[in-house]
Amino acid sequence: MDSILVRGGKPLSGQIPIAGAKNACLALMPATLLSDEPLTLTNAPRLSDIKTMSTLLQSLGAEVSSLQGGKVIAMSSHSLNGDRADYDIVRKMRASNLVLGPLLARLGEAVVSLPGGCAIGARPMDIHIDALTALGAEIELKDGYLHAKTSGGLKGGRVALRFASVGATENTLMVATLAKGTTVIENAAREPEIVDLAECLTKMGARIEGAGESRIEIEGVDSLHGATHSVVTDRIELGTFMLAPVIAGGEVECLGGRLGLVSAFAEKLAEAGVEITETAAGLKVRRNGEIPRAVDVVTEVYPGFPTDLQAQMMAMLCTARGTSVLEERIFENRFMHAPELVRMGADIEVHGGTATVRGVDRLRGAPVMATDLRASVSLILAGLAAEGETRVNRVYHLDRGYEFIEQKLGAVGADIERVREE
């Protein structure tokens, strides 16, 4: 398994290009199942999760071609020959559950493995099941698989999500585009990835009002046609790289970044004393000489502070001036980066869903273990400022969500390299 070595203490300077959003692309790709005409995605990120989704779609009979080094994904689901998402794929990537809705809408049936737990939490599917059932699906759990079918056909209806689940909103949205009649989703997730999916589905002929708000109304249509869609910029990669100059010092311009994608996060950075300037090309971030101030963080559904940036923010707060309290309200176990940061000299106390971080002068490099995608990148960020060498092991977690991370950080002056191990 590869590891990444970071030698800290070098301020950063230059530009980092931000890729298309992993979490948008993982919802956009299953949308190809809704139509027998080609769907092409541009500005796609080059990530292992995208390859996993491609493999899953191909296993269902879809044609998926990766063009221009992976930046373009050309798909066609003209002839599907399967309706099953196997456990060995779904357990590796929970987003595989996003084929449930499209398969049900297109074929009238689907067999999708329950994802099982993952490092950050149990991650059940109850909200997906309740929502699709409200639209005419009959779903039962057998041998660890969700067996979904619709004998009477999918009908529009009112779906009130008990929690604004991103995935459940996406599955429901995709089913509703082909259900008979009108669907209203209440308490829908409002993430930019939902808006991006709705924009793509609209290009395919869907009739959707209110994506990005808590109430989305969808008028079902008989069929969807092909389209070409550019994946929205990845706000989590953006927020991650905005923190790099804050932690390491210097100034970095994140190309393609827009404040609107990261407003709650940017407000917190401004509160910590970080200077953020929106330029024609993106977002310029610099630590204006001062050590950042400690700030408190509570993760919320969008437009609140994103849970996917909590670990990265904690890495920055380890050397901020003062004490910060971080409350994780979305997942039940998303502080696994904390003990690894403590190995680097951070002063962090975790009690349940709350972590208290007391700023220290400097972190010290150490061998640390990546446990999940965002925890991994928080350790890389911490290594940028730590004295000496940090070795992050099991970086396959990292490769799921960050393309070419050592090249992107190396290009702005970080001393970072990948060590390939058999």
Residues with a catalytic annotation lie at 118
- Find the helix packing angle between 192-203 and 166-176, rounded to 10°: 10
Question: Which of residues 12 and 309 has its CB atom nearest to ligand EPZ in the complex?
Answer: 309
Q: Which two tokens stand for residue 371?
A: 């446990």
Closest CA to 166 of 369, 302, 333, 320: 302
Question: Which of residues 181 and 260 has its CB atom nearest to ligand EPZ in the complex?
Answer: 260
To the nearest whole angstrom, how small is the minimum distance from the Cβ of residue 308 to ligand EPZ?
A: 5
To the nearest whole angstrom, how small is the minimum distance from the Cβ of residue 277 to ligand EPZ?
A: 27
Q: Which two tokens stand for residue 224?
A: 């969807």
* Pairwise CA distance, residues 111 & 104, whole Å: 9
Residues found near ligand EPZ in the complex (CB under 6 A)? 22-23, 26, 94-95, 121-128, 163, 165-168, 307-308, 330-331, 373-374, 401
Question: Which of residues 251 and 300 has its CB atom nearest to ligand EPZ in the complex?
Answer: 300
Number of Cβ within 10 Å of residue 328's Cβ equals: 23
Question: Which of residues 22 and 106 has its CB atom nearest to ligand EPZ in the complex?
Answer: 22
Question: Which of residues 167 and 359 has its CB atom nearest to ligand EPZ in the complex?
Answer: 167
To the nearest whole angstrom, how small is the minimum distance from the Cβ of residue 302 to ligand EPZ?
A: 7
Question: Which of residues 312 and 319 has its CB atom nearest to ligand EPZ in the complex?
Answer: 312
Chain centroid to Cα 411, Å, comes to 24
To the nearest whole angstrom, how small is the minimum distance from the Cβ of residue 26 to ligand EPZ?
A: 5
Give residue number: closest CB to ligand EPZ: 167
To the nearest whole angstrom, how small is the minimum distance from the Cβ of residue 372 to ligand EPZ?
A: 7
Backbone torsion region of residue 212, taken as left when φ is above 0, otherwise alpha when ψ lies between -120 and 50, otherwise beta: left
To the nearest whole angstrom, how small is the minimum distance from the Cβ of residue 165 to ligand EPZ?
A: 3
- Find the helix packing angle between 235-248 and 310-317, rounded to 10°: 10
